[in-house]
Structure 1
Amino acid sequence: MIGAPLLAVAMLPAAFAGSGGTSRRWFGGRAESQRAEAQAAKDAAAAAFYELDTAQRGLRLSIETITAVDSSPGARRAVDDFAALGRRIDDVSHAYITAVDAHDLDRDDLDASVAARARAELTRAKDELVRVKGELDRFEQGIGPLLDKAETQLARLAPAVERARQALRDASTALDTVRQSGMRADDLATRLAQLGPELTRLNEGAGRHGVPETLKRADRVLRDAEAVRAEAQRLPERAAEIDKRLVSLRTRAQALTTRADGVEPVLSELRRRFVAACWQDLQHVPEQAADHVRQAEEKLREAGKARDEQRWPDATSLLATVRALLNTTDEAVSAAGDRLRRLDAVAKDPRQEIDRTRFTVRDAQRLAMDGRHTPDPRHARPLDDAVARLDRAVAGLEGRHPDYWHFLNEMEAVRATAGHVVELIREQRGSGSRTGRS
């Protein structure tokens, strides 16, 4: 029975041994309470230090994300502000580490006053860590929009680069297909080859060229490659259109040659029946028409050669020139016949032209007087001048050899004046009604 108590007494020191296996003298009362409070302050400071360090590491990644994408003044300010915060974090972290190193709370002979001083210093270090952590949290909130923008751009990066690569592959496939059909498409091949260095830069990545520049390059490559692909796919249709236009314009040139031959008889009729002022501006139409047709035919031959050589842009440009020449010739040839018809009509009965013009002027006068006792001078003056001009033109028909072409031009000018006054009145009244509503 004696052995059991002795064994119990032998085991007592081990029950109070520290984690390292050494025993520590047990102090009761105030000293041990101060040790516990100091240890609690140390643990709280350690937790605050860990939270601050973790937050700083996370924010460093955010700043690196922003700087990889954004070089704006706002982004540069964020970098500077984060660096300043880093210096403050270094200061409070140093103060915390100093406080921890200054006090061994596991000493057996730890005095209560030393423990109290350790608790105060560690609490102060913890408070500073928490304060700077609050600054870091506010800074994180402030850079939120910059970070969102940067992350959005980074999220776009990989898909944008892949779309650009796929567009290049599609353009190359389309070009191979059209070449297999017998078309050279040299200009498209040149344009596609020029995109090769851009693809190399895309493959080098944003780490070398930056995210914004890489995104711009990817968009540019995508756009240019899609244009090459679309033009390559359309090339057979384009060739067919050029062939069709060549045939159509040749036919039109031949028809205009025949029509131009009929201008001289029309001019002879005009010379015989009307004064020189009615036809002088038309007397060079036959030779001008013949010259334009000759130019058109020469351009058509050049366009045909360009088509055979598959110089599509040249062929298209030449055909546009041919069309412009033939349009000009068509208008000139038509003008002679139209002139004769109009002069014939007014010589037989000028009354229809006069009545039409008087009606237009009276209609403008009625609108000018609508709702008024006296017309606005801005409306009345040009209308009065138009009436006088009309009367002079009508009086000019009373001579032995009237200038019917001058008469027709005067009628058109009078109607244009009346039309302008009508537009002015409606604009002014529309503006007045809008002002009244507002």
Structure 2
Amino acid sequence: MTATPAQPDSPSVPRAHRARRVVHRAVPIRPRRSGPARPRRAPGPVRDALTLIGLPLIAALALPAAFAGGGTRRWFGGRAESQRAEAQAAKDAAAAAFYDLDTAQRDLRISIETITAVDDSPAARRAVADFEALGRRIDEVSHRYINAVDAHDLDRDDLEASAASRARAELTAAKEELGQVKQELDQFADGLGPLLGKAETQLARLAPAVERARQALLAASNALDTVRSSGLKADDLATRLAALSPELTRLNQGAGQHGVPQTLERAERVTREAEAVRVEAERLPERAAEIDRRLVSLRTRAQALTTRAEQVEPVLSELRRRFTVACWQDLQHVPEQAAETVRQAERKLAEAQSARDEQRWADATALLSTVRALLNATDEAVSAAGDRLRRLNAVQKDSQHEIERTRFAIRDAQRLAMAGRNTPDPRHARPLDDSVARLDRAIATLEGRHPDYWHFLTETEAVRRTVARVVAQIREERGAAPH
């Protein structure tokens, strides 16, 4: 507790010295000695006789007690002693209230320090401000209590009953004021529960989080050493691990220097990054073997596509001979494009092999992905020529199958559109009617000396896609409608 009594002869005594004086003065003083009851005065003649013949005897009886260091308090009667006892009891009660308040304030200060170490939110700052205001209130009532203690010496031999009564009243008032402030302090402490619980939770997480970060860094370092001992380089992983070294230094410096929330966040980030380095280091031998397998596989595939690209030209020749220009003109550059794409893929393969030899794993992986994309495009282009010839042969031989397939899709959609209705929804009927007309026009292109079979196939596919969209729309609307 910060409030202390002001010494009369030295108002600027240091706080620590004044606090020690408060503690000394607040404890009960030594027990009062209770002197013998004062004898009642005898009547005049008897008194005179005692005076004449008893003084030597009285002096003789008192002399040993005087030499023994004893002494008696002046006797003031039962009322004065009763008031002194009540005042002393009030003083003891006030001292106990003072100690209770001091203890509660010290405990609460620890809670506030715990909160401020972790939390910088507006609620935490408001709690600190409220605690400081309570501290000023505690200083005020403590000063009044100390002044009341200093103002009355209850051990004086000549303490009067009226002075003891005033002391009792002032000390009782001080005790009640101390108790009231203690209640306010307790209510404030109860309101700190959520903030204190959150702060204690974070503090409880702090040490385990820092330890996990240290262990993760150690595991990553060990994994990296194991990989290097097998002859694989892991320079990028080593660089990433070295970048975490300053973070470990900050963790070792502690939350007192960097703050609890920041230290928790740093520990979690270090743990994640170190764990990622460890996982990649442990996977590095497998990754190297996978890159080797992909190099062999893609090189074989490039050679196979080179052979297949050479077979596109005979297919194009047959398409030119048997079908109209519209059926094959978009394919006539496939052989040249396929050959060029394969050459690009082979150059990228050589670069990927070089990256693999230099153990630039990320570069090798990226280059292999590029090679795969190039070969996929070439495969599609080469396959398109053969697929075109196959489909044109089929429709030339039997176009009715394609027509019936498309008409069945339209009729099925029309039945669905009319289910449970007398008239179809225009949003569904219109695209279906347009599909019927479009199919009729596509069939018409088959008439004549040189039918455009490719246009017919593309039109029937377009009609089926439109019909499928209408069916999906109808089912979606009916599935969302309330039953």
Asked whether the equivalents of residues 396 and 407 of structure 1 are also in contact (C-alpha less than 8 Å), the reply is yes
Q: Structure 1 residue 291 and structure 2 residue 347: aligned?
A: no
Other-structure match for 1:124: 173
1:101 maps to amino acid:
D
Question: Which of 153, 157, 164 lines up with 2:206 in the alignment?
Answer: 157
Q: Structure 1 residue 413 and structure 2 residue 413: aligned?
A: no
Q: How far 1:407 moved relative to its partner?
A: 1.1
Question: Which of 63, 79, 88 lines up with 2:112 in the alignment?
Answer: 63
1:59 maps to amino acid:
L
Q: How far 1:28 moved relative to its partner?
A: 3.2
Other-structure match for 2:374: 325
Q: How far 1:51 moved relative to its partner?
A: 0.7
Q: Structure 1 residue 88 and structure 2 residue 160: aligned?
A: no
Q: Structure 1 residue 341 and structure 2 residue 365: aligned?
A: no
Q: Structure 1 residue 403 and structure 2 residue 452: aligned?
A: yes
Q: Which has the larger radius of gyration?
A: 2
The residue matched to 1:400 in structure 2 has which SS?
Answer: coil
Q: 1:21 to 1:13 in 2, by over 3 A?
A: closer
Q: 1:29 to 1:416 in 2, by over 3 A?
A: same
Q: 1:22 to 1:205 in 2, by over 3 A?
A: farther
Superposed CA RMSD: 2.0
2:168 maps to amino acid:
R
The residue matched to 2:481 in structure 1 has which SS?
Answer: helix
The residue matched to 1:397 in structure 2 has which SS?
Answer: coil
Question: Which of 443, 446, 465 lines up with 1:394 in the alignment?
Answer: 443
Instruction: List runs of 5+ in structure 1 lacking aligned partners.
Output: none
How many residue pairs get aligned? The number is 426
Other-structure match for 2:151: 102
Q: 1:376 to 1:8 in 2, by over 3 A?
A: farther
Q: How far 1:164 moved relative to its partner?
A: 0.7
Q: 1:11 to 1:301 in 2, by over 3 A?
A: farther
Other-structure match for 1:34: 83
CA distance in 1, matches of 2:255, 2:70: 57
Other-structure match for 1:186: 235
2:341 maps to amino acid:
H
CA distance in 2, matches of 1:208, 1:256: 64
Q: Which moved more, 1:114-123 or 1:223-232?
A: 114-123
Task: Tell me the TM-score normalized by structure 2.
Answer: 0.85
CA distance in 2, matches of 1:157, 1:178: 32
CA distance in 2, matches of 1:173, 1:39: 73
Q: Structure 1 residue 47 and structure 2 residue 96: aligned?
A: yes
Q: Structure 1 residue 258 and structure 2 residue 307: aligned?
A: yes
CA distance in 1, matches of 2:426, 2:194: 62
Q: 1:53 to 1:362 in 2, by over 3 A?
A: same
The residue matched to 1:207 in structure 2 has which SS?
Answer: helix
Other-structure match for 1:208: 257
Q: 1:114 to 1:414 in 2, by over 3 A?
A: same
CA distance in 1, matches of 2:266, 2:477: 52
1:146 maps to amino acid:
L
2:334 maps to amino acid:
V
Asked whether the equivalents of residues 13 and 23 of structure 1 are also in contact (C-alpha less than 8 Å), the reply is no
Q: 1:135-154 to 2 correspondence within 5 Å?
A: 135-154=184-203
Question: Which of 72, 93, 117 lines up with 2:121 in the alignment?
Answer: 72
1:113 maps to amino acid:
S
Q: Structure 1 residue 169 and structure 2 residue 232: aligned?
A: no
Other-structure match for 2:164: 115
